A and B are shown apart, each in its own frame.
Chain A
Amino acid sequence: MSTINWLFYVNFAIFSVFLALFITELMGAVLLLVDYEHARKPVLAHVVPIWEVTGTFAAFWVVTADFAYPSMLIPVATLLAAYIVVFLILIVARNASISFAEYIVKHRWLDEKKLYQAYAISTLGIGIVVVIILSAIVSGAGVTLSTLSFSIVGWITNPGSLPYLLGVLVIGVALAPVFYGIEGLRRWTLPLASLGVGIEGAALYLFSPSFLSSWFLVPAVLTVLPALFFQFPKFAPIVTNKIVFGAVAALIIFSQTYLVYPTAFHGGIKVDSVTTQGPMVGAFLVLTAVGIVVVGGLMVLYLVVVTRSPGRATATPSPSVPTGVQHP
């Protein structure tokens, strides 16, 4: 293997794009639950045309992870089997509720609002499961590698776990108004983002002081920056731009590779030693090069169509009255 583990970095880059897209949905989900009438228009304008793409990136990441770490499949399936099935149920619930919501005509008690909120709840559920699994992979909280077992009680009782989950939620709530351009919540974004980053730092320290290295400054600064820019009308349009925000979010996630490389599960597993070897490395890189052209080309096409589209060209009028909402 070369000195740089390209398979790890490619897989992590795909994961970063998936998670960045998913986080934008997650932030929308929070707003749909908190204030549906005001959030409906800006949130759905983003979420409805993007949720299928998020799901496709999730599948992309799963397949590249299978490709890169074949020897980890049995341990992961044994460790996290039950949680992965819960994740799957939530994925189906998410897709079902949003695709039903897109076309439902009110029928007795079931209407568009209830279905979009069901989508929001399942998306939040997925977010929580993802955070639990990711934090376990980073810190080893609740994980006993020698017996390949995972205990949710063990995860909860680790001092870093709940603060980690809380920190993610606070950051999500802080940046949601930035991404969706909700000016009424402008003044809350910077203090909440700073608080979230502080909680995340504390959580990582509680997991292990070694996680709080100078690398942490990169995601920390990148997280606070959008909230800071949002305070100034001159700079706000930069960070409310969906593409810019998405790119920054992906960069924030990618900058945290140090938490799982060169070792994951808090030193429990050396990533290089579980990465595929031999001719499969060449095949992975060839297919990834093809993928960059194919998927990259398709994403460019998608972005061109979205950015050149005159607003929500095919949307029906919203039943809501969005006061104080800046439309994308």
Chain B
Amino acid sequence: MSFPMVNFDRFLFAFTVGSHILLVSLSIGLGILISAVEFLAARSSDKYYRGLARRLVRPFVVSFGIGTASGIVMAVELVNLFPGFMTLVSETGVIAIFYVEIFAFFLETIFVVVYVYYGKTFTGRYTRWLLTVPIVAGTLLSAVLIVMVNSWMNTPNGFNIGAYLSTGQVTGVNPWAPFFTTSTGYEVFHVLSAVPLTGLMFIGGYFSYRYFRAKGTDERELFLRGLRITAAASFFFVLIAVLSGILEIEGLYTYQPLKYAAIELNPNPGTNLAITLFGSVSGLSIVGGIQIPGLQGMITHHAELPGLSQFPSADWPPLIIHDTFDVMVIGGAILGLFLLVYVGLWIAHRRPYDRPLFAYGMGAFSVLTAIIMEFGWATDEIGRQPWVVYNVMTVNHAANYSTGLLVPGILIVAFYLFLVPFTFYFMVRVFNGQALEVDLEGPAAGSDVNY
């Protein structure tokens, strides 16, 4: 019974995190957008920016509420599904990262409450915008800290690993070391660009569609302002995501060469290796796929590149990560080109938002961005298998084998399958919950709570 349970634990946690990162991306995107809109509203006293802030707050509160709950689910699931892992986390300094995360969480929560429920009591011109700054800081800091934990899982430090592997005892603990592992900088940089990009593209796609279908001047003006911010910010973040992605590949070469070899599908080490798009490995040969000779060496600047044959095959991660990685990179490249053309046309006053191809394209790319992010996350997590803490603890050693988890676990999945789509639907509903005239002329954001 142990084998199915460990895979069930894997599936349940992956499912929960996969749902959570969609909600959190949207929450972060909304937070950044609300802050930008509040700033512009304060600076220009433009009624459309004020109305947009008022509308955006409603889905933000919903995404924050559901995101908070799914965050708690994740935190408790870690203990419940992988108690061996959390024991190691709690005996080393990694738990200190979770502790600091709580402070970021408080920063975000308290300012969300003050901004949403008591914001109207602040009358200073820029005060409402200032209240949104800690919200954005708190959400981003939460993301940074959770990525620090993931970095530690990829490149563990802060205790005597050799002694732990031989005795099972945690000794030589430095509680602060896990904040700064060799992969932390690379991972944090990449996630800090990819997550806001996903959230902003989601919202931008919706704005683009709504602008294109708008009936009146007010509606067009409102969505055009929103689209201007989301398109510009998405373009900025996609550039950073490309740069940080290249740096992260560089990092993998150094600290996880096996994962590097797997995602690049290098059966053997060598110089000036080709980039292989898709394809598979049979024996130690590549089968199928498209080869671009010499490109790998050009991107990484390294003469000698690692190959799978240098490592025992039992340690190889599932090679599907090569495909998930390719989807992420190719999708990201197409997205970047689309945004380059979109923003370029806008700067040249060619009004891309009025063209059906770009209007619907923005919507389609918002979905693609979510897929890219999920595939990127899958690449990272599956690429570490069979380890939960790289070269220290396998998932099998960390997992909970209690079969009592099965029924409630299935209930969680069923509940999420209903809840997540409904949450997105509901967010759209509450965004449009009031007539546009009311949102444009009414009081500040957060004033339409049912209580």
Contacts and interface: CB of A to CB of B under 8 A. Distances in A.
Given A66-B89, A279-B174, A287-B96, A52 B109 contact: yes
Most buried by B among A45, A56, A69, A78: A56
Contact of A52 (B65, B80, B92): B65
B83 A78 contact: yes
B412 to A, nearest CB: 6
Contacts of B75: 59, 62-63
A316 B101 CA distance: 34
B99 A287 contact: yes
A67 B448 CA distance: 40
24 contacts: A47-B451, A52-B112, A62-B76, A63-B95, A66-B95, A67-B90, A67-B99, A70-B86, A70-B89, A70-B91, A73-B83, A73-B90, A74-B87, A82-B405, A84-B79, A85-B412, A93-B415, A100-B62, A102-B451, A291-B102, A295-B103, A301-B114, A314-B116, A314-B443
Given A282-B175, A283-B93, A88 B102 contact: no
B106 A294 contact: yes
B103 to A, nearest CB: 5
Contacts of B175: 279-280, 282-283
A278 B416 CA distance: 41
Given A81-B404, A287-B100, A99 B64 contact: yes
A52 B113 contact: yes
B344 interface: no
Contacts of A86: 408
B450 A102 contact: yes
B446 interface: yes
Contacts of B62: 99-100, 102-103
Interface of A: 44-45, 47-50, 52-53, 55-56, 58-60, 62-64, 66-67, 69-71, 73-74, 76-78, 81-82, 84-89, 91-96, 98-105, 107, 112, 276, 278-280, 282-284, 287, 290-291, 294-295, 298-299, 301-302, 305-306, 308-310, 312-316
A99 B114 contact: no
Contact of B450 (A52, A103, A302): A103
Nearest to B103: A294
B73 A91 contact: yes
A70 B87 contact: yes
Contact of A44 (B84, B112, B443, B451): B451
Nearest to B445: A314
B106 A103 contact: no
Given A73-B79, A294-B106, A99 B120 contact: no
Contacts of B65: 52, 95-96, 98-99
Contact of B419 (A92, A282, A308): A92
Contacts of A284: 99
Given A78-B83, A78-B402, A278-B173, A314 B72 contact: no
A45 B118 contact: no
B357 interface: no
B451 A312 contact: yes
Nearest to B430: A103
A283 B176 contact: yes
Nearest to A102: B449
Closest 5 CB pairs of A and B: A99-B65, A70-B90, A85-B408, A283-B175, A95-B69
Interface class of chain A by DSSP: helix
Contacts of B433: 103-105
A89 B417 CA distance: 13
Contacts of B253: none
A84 B80 contact: yes
Given A78-B402, A85-B80, A96-B66, A315 B451 contact: yes
A89 B407 CA distance: 12
Given A56-B105, A73-B83, A102 B419 contact: no
A48 B42 CA distance: 27
Nearest to A53: B109
A88 B90 contact: no
Interface residues of B, number: 79
A47 B113 CA distance: 12
A219 to B, nearest CB: 27
Contact of B451 (A48, A276, A279, A302): A48
A50 B113 CA distance: 8
Contact of A280 (B81, B83, B173, B444): B173
A85 B118 CA distance: 34
B90 A74 contact: no
A69 B86 CA distance: 11
B298 interface: no
Interface string B396-418: 00001010110111011001100
Contacts of B64: 52, 99
A101 B411 CA distance: 23
Nearest to B59: A103
Nearest to B406: A82
A202 B162 CA distance: 54
Interface in B32-82: 58, 61-62, 64-66, 68-73, 75-77, 79-81
Nearest to A112: B450
A89 B430 contact: no
Contacts of B444: 314
Contacts of B426: 100
Contacts of A104: 430, 433, 450
B363 to A, nearest CB: 24
A313 B117 CA distance: 8
Most buried by A among B84, B106, B109: B106
A259 B113 CA distance: 35
Nearest to A279: B173
B119 interface: yes
Nearest to B444: A314
A88 B77 CA distance: 9
Given A91-B73, A287-B100, A313-B118, 9 more contacts: A48-B451, A55-B69, A62-B76, A62-B79, A76-B79, A82-B408, A85-B411, A280-B95, A314-B119
B107 interface: yes
A328 B3 CA distance: 56
A46 to B, nearest CB: 9
A91 B72 contact: yes
Given A59-B72, A295-B103, A314-B446, A102 B121 contact: no
